[in-house]
Amino acid sequence: MLRIGVDTGGTFTDVILVRDGTIVTLKLPSTPKHPEEAVLAGVSEVLGEDDVEFELVHGTTVGTNALLERKGARTALLTTEGFEDVLEIGRQNRPGLYQLTASRPKPLVPRALRFGVRERVTSAGEVLIPLDRDQVHELRARLAQWGVESIAVCYLFAFLEPRHERETAELLADLGVPISLSHEILPEFREYERTSTTVMNAYLAPLMGRYLRRLEEGLTRLGDARRSPVRPVLRIMQSNGGSISARAAAEQPVRTVLSGPAGGVVGAFATAQRIGLSRIITFDMGGTSTDVSLVDGAIQTTHEARIAELPIGIPVIDIHTVGAGGGSIARVDEGGALRVGPESAGADPGPVCYGRGEEITVTDAHLLLGRLDPDRFLGGAMPLYPARTREYFRAFRHRFPRPASEVEIALGILDVANANMARAIKVISIERGHDPRDFTLIAFGGAGGLHACDLAEMLSIPRVLVPKHPGLLSALGVLLSDVVKDYSQTVMLAQEEIASERLEGVFSRLEARARADLRAEGFPPDRIRLSRLVDVRYAGQAFELSLPFTSDFLAEFHRAHERRYGYADPARKVELVTLRVRACGITEKPVFPSHERRAIAVEPVARRPVYFREKGSPIARETSFYWREALAPGATLAGPAIVLEYSATTVVPPGWRAEVDEYENLILSREQ
């Protein structure tokens, strides 16, 4: 079956198809009001006239945007009586310890729609107070009267004994709205995180359900137009780096809130593995935001992520995001300082140079400095408007309290954006005990190659890799992803209570569920891979580390604690908190052959001045522009140079050199 990967971003929708080892790519403007329109248009175009039977794997921002913009469903929360305000209370942690005016984000469910239900399960999983079914019946009428669109049910210790949540769902089933049960969404301890994650799922379920129905109906119409008896298969990328069926995504949309960025990390790691790299920092700069992640031998996941300032307890790839992208808007604050982002011009109206925008952006700064080719953007399919951009820059310069040229302002915009992105990379590397000098920076996204060398210079990263089709790597990563499902069970065992028979029983139950679910999705036993993990902490600690389950996992925990926090205490007792199983259904992967390197001279398609900052001052350097498609393996370039291609532009600054490897990756490094 033909497979297509699609990644919907804030500015562009990227489509990639691999047919007989040949990659077909397409970028088209996103349609934020109806995201499925761009997806369907892109799929139809890359398929052409003949191919009909296909599987679409889709990375979507529908859930992310709904959370950021607070445009989800009218949701009610049913919880154990006395725990109605868990969402509001949260934790005592303060992100800004000395920020006197700090405020918490508003809960997704207002107080009027949070209801306490008489029931109680003990910490041992025993029913102390049976569910008050009459009260649930009364609540049912009120929920219908108030027009509730979705319901979250999160009872105390339901992860140990879920019968009350199941009974509640049965009593409310005839309301005809989605019902999210905490023991199905996140069967783990920590009441606040479990409640937050369950509520987030309920908040997104109607919106995601409608979106996926429209997309599936559109795909069906596409098949009907081609008179195909075969219905296309739709899978959705998850935040953990794997995909799931559209039905599962509609039921548990909380698992998709970082699906696009996750595809980028998967694609970058696959690129690195092909050339033998295991230590990388991924740098994905798109039109709206920048996502960075550190990979040290394997893609890292976390259970402590926050989305729109709200905790989410399901496994997600450890990605740090900042509001810095090609569409990030530049402004002058009250003190006369230049700021860039997090606000973005997005796809509509877009940057000034696209022809409709009214606010100066990072992309406009690159065009003014000569780093973008206005006639060859998106392979010539999308013209840029330099004269319009210069006009807006002339007006923008008058907002500054001191005189500055348009070139100085444009370089300043890039400096501010680079500083924001460098801080993001420091968060995932230096602040966690990793030295960036030991890693390769893999730059992708439509704007990644424009900033990669500057960031490498700032952080002393020795090498930059820009993969082939960098602006579509997230779509390729979505295409390369396996079907991944995560299962967990909190056990809370002191060290002296850890017994292999007890652990084996829990793991076996989780693995049986995993195998059944993957078999239902069509995977035979030889294409199913299961891995066991454990969450461990020192007795008395509030949080734990997740590591592979081995016969020596306690000793490995002490080593992992030393690496992460700089100290360990092997004499101290530990606790085994949660058991996890990760199940992978191995999908068919396209094969990308290597090519022999040859020393071939390449002629530039253009030469013209480009501005760079050297010793603090703007300098115009005569710069060669090259088509990337003309750069065969073995080709080398000396900076300053600009590499143009359909999906992105790469800047090779003065003092840097670029070489094309056998997989057609662009390797950039400082000249010796």
Determine, yes or no, domain membership for 130.
yes
Beta bridge partner(s), residue 150: 75
Share of the chain above pLDDT 90, in %: 66
Give the per-residue pLDDT at 21.
67
**Any domain includes 355:** no
- pTM for the predicted model, two decimal places: 0.88
**What angle is formed at CA 304 by the lines to CA 302 and CA 306, rounded to 5 degrees?**
115
**In this structure, are 491 and 564 located in the same domain?**
yes
Domain that holds residue 175: 74-203
**pLDDT at position 51, please?**
60
- Report the alpha-carbon distance of residue 185 to residue 521 in Å, rounded: 19
Mean pLDDT of 601-617: 90
Residues 83, 16 share a domain: no
Q: Please indicate, yes or no, if residue 400 is contained in any of the structural domains.
A: no
Residues 156/120, Cβ–Cβ less than 8 Å:
yes
In terms of domains, do 39 and 127 share one?
A: no
539: in domain:
yes
What is the predicted pLDDT for the residue at 647? Answer: 85
* pLDDT value at 425 more than 70: yes
Please tell me the total count of domains within the chain. Answer: 4
Mean of pLDDT values over 21-42:
87
**Residue 503 counted as domain residue:** yes
Domain limit, last residue, from 141, 175, 203? 203
Write out pLDDT tens, residues 240-274: 999 999 999 999 999 999 888 899 999 999 999 99
Same domain, 109 and 184: yes
The alpha carbon torsion through 83, 89, 90, 91 (nearest 10 deg) reads: -120
Q: Please write the tens of the pLDDT for every residue from 622-645.
A: 999 999 999 999 999 998 999 999
Is the alpha carbon torsion for 43, 47, 51, 55 positive or negative? negative
Residues 490 and 560 in one domain: yes
Does 469 map to a domain?
no
Kindly report the CATH number assigned to the domain that includes residue 131: 3.40.50
Same domain, 91 and 159: yes
User: Does residue 338 lie within any of the structural domains?
Assistant: no
How much is the mean pLDDT over the chain? 90
| 615 contact partners, CB below 8 Å, separation of at least 6 | none
pLDDT grade for 521, boundaries at 50, 70 and 90: confident
d(CA 672, CA 669): 9
Where is pLDDT greater, at 12 or 339? 339
Query: For 649, how many CA atoms within 13 A lie in the half-sphere containing its CB?
Result: 22
User: For position 561, which CATH number holds?
Assistant: 3.30.1490
The verdict on 81 and 27 lying in the same domain is no
Residue 222: C-alpha distances to residues 14, 247, 470 (Å): 19, 20, 28
Q: Does any domain span residue 17?
A: yes
Q: What is the C-alpha separation between 291 and 268, in angstroms, rounded?
A: 12
Residues 219 and 180 in one domain: no
Range of weakest confidence among 223-237, 284-298, 418-432: 223-237
Q: What is the mean pLDDT of residues 496-523?
A: 92
- What whole-number distance in Å separates Cα of residue 672 and Cα of residue 149? 63
For residue 230, give the CATH number of its domain: 3.30.420.40
Do 220 and 183 belong together in one domain? no
pLDDT 10s digits, 91-103: 877 767 777 777 7
